[in-house]
Amino acid sequence: MTTFPAKFEYLDEIRDYIAEAARRSGFTDKEIYSLQLAADEAASNIIEHAYEGITNGSIDLSCDMREDVFTIIMRDEGKKFDPSKVKLPNLKADLSERQIGGLGVYLMRKLMDDVRYETSGKSNTLTMIKRKG
Amino acid sequence: MEITNQEFKHCDLIKVTGRVDSSTAPEFTKALEKTTNDNRFKIALDMSELEYMSSAGFRALLATQRNCKRYNRGELVLVKVPARVREALELAGFTELFKTFDDPLEAVGNF
């Protein structure tokens, strides 16, 4: 597990961390990009929403590969922010009606096989799963 | 992320390189707004050296497209969209909102 400051400037390092773990787990470049994007969207939401108004928050990040299942776990101690409660954007809407809110969560769900959110005490845990192959 | 702007008579060719995420998107947005605030609404965005773009960057593209297309005064078109970025744009349902070109000069000539 590695702890990152909950600041947008650290998204680069979070993506590097994911890329390294995914590469070790044998994912292709295309899959690695998808995992990085899903993790970036998740971390961005934590920084923007869970830690809204808080400048010294942190995100605990870990990756694990077991039996061809890659698991990304992000833990924070901010406000509850359940991505599954976010209203998804209407992707069929035309330009003037198109909403951008919820797009990050939508991408997370499309890019990963499963996205789960749990809260216990002060700590929020986001678990994202990608099956290999 | 780095942004350069080449002004042509009829349009602007803006090139964005590197990575656009929540950290760099505000600067990206500002660069696009600088052009539209100058009443220049015909923009070709060269993405050939773009390595990465998250939904924070997509948000800037959408806002700019909306602004440019208002009153039919122009349009934002995308040039040389890298495969990975294109796949994410497709997933977001964005590809139908933007014309794309494989060649910057062809994009410029389109205006």
Tens-digit pLDDT profile for residues B73-95: 999 999 999 999 999 999 999 99
B19-39 pLDDT tens trace: 999 999 999 999 999 999 999
Put simply, the answer to whether A95 touches B87 (Cβ < 8 Å) is no
Predicted TM-score (pTM) of the model is 0.95
pLDDT of A58 > 80? The answer is yes
Q: Do the Cβ atoms of A72 and A63 come closer than 8 Å? A: yes
Cβ-based contacts of B90 with chain A (< 8 Å) = none
Tell me how far apart the alpha carbons of residues B73 and B108 are, in angstroms, rounded to a whole number.
Answer: 16
Q: What is the dihedral of CA B47, B49, B52, B55, to 10 degrees?
A: -20
With an 8 Å Cβ cutoff, are B54 and A37 in contact?
yes
The predicted complex's ipTM stands at 0.95
3-class secondary structure, B51 = strand
Whether A80 and chain B come into contact, CB under 8 Å, resolves to: no
Provide the pLDDT for residue A112.
97
pLDDT band at residue A93 using 50, 70 and 90 as cut-offs: confident
Mean pLDDT of chain A: 94
DSSP code of A87? Answer: P
Q: What's the whole-number average pLDDT of chain B?
A: 97
Spatial separation of the C-alpha atoms in residues A57 and B49, rounded to whole Å? 33
Which of A8, A29, A41 is closest, CB to CB, to B55?
A: A41
> What span, in angstroms and rounded, lies between the C-alpha atoms of A69 and B46?
37
Question: CB distance from A91 to chain B under 8 Å?
Answer: yes
Q: Does A107 touch chain B (CB under 8 A)?
A: yes
CA distance B32 to chain A (A): 17
Task: Give Dmax (Cα) for chain A.
Answer: 45
Q: Are strands B42-46 and B12-20 parallel, antiparallel or unpaired?
A: parallel
Q: With contact defined as beta carbons under 8 Å apart, do B56 and A67 qualify?
A: no
Rounded distance, CA B38 to CA A128, Å? 44
**How confident is the model over B45-69, as a mean pLDDT?**
97
Nearest CA in chain A to B18: A12
